[in-house]
Amino acid sequence: MQYCVIFSGFFDGLLLITMLDVTTKQNIILYLSRWIEIIRVSEDDQNLVIEGRQRDTTSLRTITRHSGGLIFSIKKAKIGASDHFYIKTAGAGRQIPMINLILFILTIFTTLLAGAMMEGANPFYNPLTIVKGIPFSLTLMVILGVHELGHFIFARKHHVEATLPYFIPAPTLIGTFGAFIKMRSPVRQRRALVQIGAAGPIFGFLVATPALFIGLYLSSVVPLSGTEGIRLGDSILMKIATNIVYPGLGPEQDILLHPVGFAAWIGMLVTMLNLLPIGQLDGGHIVYALLGEKSKYIAWGALFATIALAFLSLNWLIWGALVFFLVKVKHPPISDNYTPLTLHEKLVGLAALTVFILTFIPVPIKS
């Protein structure tokens, strides 16, 4: 099956925001010293991290409630022989950094422009026609946003500080280079690495899949010959969805993909590329957590496979070069690389592998 639309690549990266002011930090430390024997104090993002031992059985909720508005939340994790307390200041969880907000608004605008132009409108001539880009922009922004939200939620769950997503506006045919979050505090546990790495692709996939079916229902069937446009390649999921929505599609017919369907196709492509088991891509995190140092062999094998796929599509050569120089091939070590994974983490890894297989596109663009 071929689709008459357009392709662009994306990056899904990793990275953090602001420091607590000195007075707030001192007041929090003084307040908590009544309940906690403090060994070491550090900061990551908007959190104050205290290593120590709790003196009594007072609940963290009670300590938070009696902080006089100093503390928004406290979470505790047992690491080694000591406890680590992650303290968020009151209101910190509700702040949206200005740079994130500006980039988000700009990306909405650029994707609206791209979507409107796909529909044959010219917003530069008639600005009101930009509303024609809403279906494409909304679908793509939701898929990218949910992908990053998955990383964000599970990073916070495992006490790894993460920013809100940074969306990247771009003067491309689709209006963006994607989105990413940043993490400064390290991921210490294998189970956390699996869940954080897999959450983004799985969350994004769960949104992109219904969007794909909706987009196909809104698409139109056209003759294969004489149709202009760039022809997109198929994944297994795309073939399944096409056969369900258009069971009688003939060999001389093609699908002119609706912008909603195109946005879903892009979301699937982003998911597949980020699940490659290389370096600090999402797939690299998952494979390293599952296999440890042995993952480097899979990473190099995956990189050579992308180079081999360049004989089918030069897009793979470009992506392989970007991964090699920017993402690197080998995953950096984590502090706890020996605690066995549970069945749950292994099933999460299997789910991510299933998503990769379903969304894999050997030839993203067909000539």
pLDDT at position 93, please? Answer: 47
**Residue 220 clears pLDDT 60, i.e. is over it:** yes
**Residue 104 clears pLDDT 70, i.e. is over it:** yes
> Which of 76-80, 323-327, 341-345 is predicted most confidently?
341-345
* Mean of pLDDT over the chain: 84
pLDDT at position 3, please? Answer: 40
Confidence band of 186 (pLDDT split at 50, 70, 90): confident
Q: How many Cα neighbours within 13 Å face the side chain of 46?
A: 20
Tell me if 292 sits within 8 A of 337, measured CB to CB: yes
d(CA 359, CA 234): 9
Tell me if 227 sits within 8 A of 253, measured CB to CB: no
Three-state DSSP at 45 gives coil
- 81-95, 123-137, 183-197, 315-329: least confidently modelled range: 81-95
Quick one: 22-94 is in which CATH superfamily?
General secretion pathway protein M, EpsM (3.30.1360.100)
C-alpha closest to that of 72 among 146, 33, 30, 20: 20
List the structure tokens of 164. 């809100």
**Residue 94 clears pLDDT 60, i.e. is over it:** no
What are φ and ψ of residue 255, in 5° steps? -115, 125
Percent of the chain residues past pLDDT 70, beyond the cut: 88
Confidence band of 77 (pLDDT split at 50, 70, 90): confident
pLDDT at position 320, please? Answer: 84
d(CA 119, CA 117): 5
pLDDT at position 68, please? Answer: 64
pLDDT at position 17, please? Answer: 28
**DSSP letters spanning 137-183:** HHHHHHHHHHHHHHHHHHHHHTT--BPPPEEEE-SSTTSEEEEE--B
**DSSP letters spanning 171-209:** SSTTSEEEEE--B-SPP-BHHHHHHHHHHHHHHHHHHHH
- CA separation, residue 176 to residues 110, 167, 236 (Å): 7, 8, 26
pLDDT at position 364, please? Answer: 87
Q: pLDDT higher for 329 or 4? A: 329
Kind plus residue range of the DSSP H or E element containing 73: strand 71-79
Mean pLDDT of 308-315: 87
C-alpha closest to that of 269 among 10, 72, 6, 96: 10
DSSP code of 323? I
Mean pLDDT of 156-165: 81
pLDDT at position 332, please? Answer: 84
Mean pLDDT of 288-316: 90
**Residue 19 clears pLDDT 50, i.e. is over it:** no
Q: pLDDT higher for 305 or 251? A: 305
pLDDT tens track for 20-59: 455 667 778 888 888 888 888 887 656 788 888 888 888 8
C-alpha closest to that of 229 among 29, 6, 1: 6
Per-domain boundaries in the chain: 3-15+97-366, 22-94
pLDDT tens track for 249-270: 877 788 889 999 999 999 999 9
pLDDT at position 46, please? Answer: 61
Find where tokens 């017919």 sit.
253
pLDDT at position 287, please? Answer: 95
pLDDT at position 6, please? Answer: 33
Q: Is the sign of the CA dihedral 21, 23, 29, 31 positive or negative?
A: negative
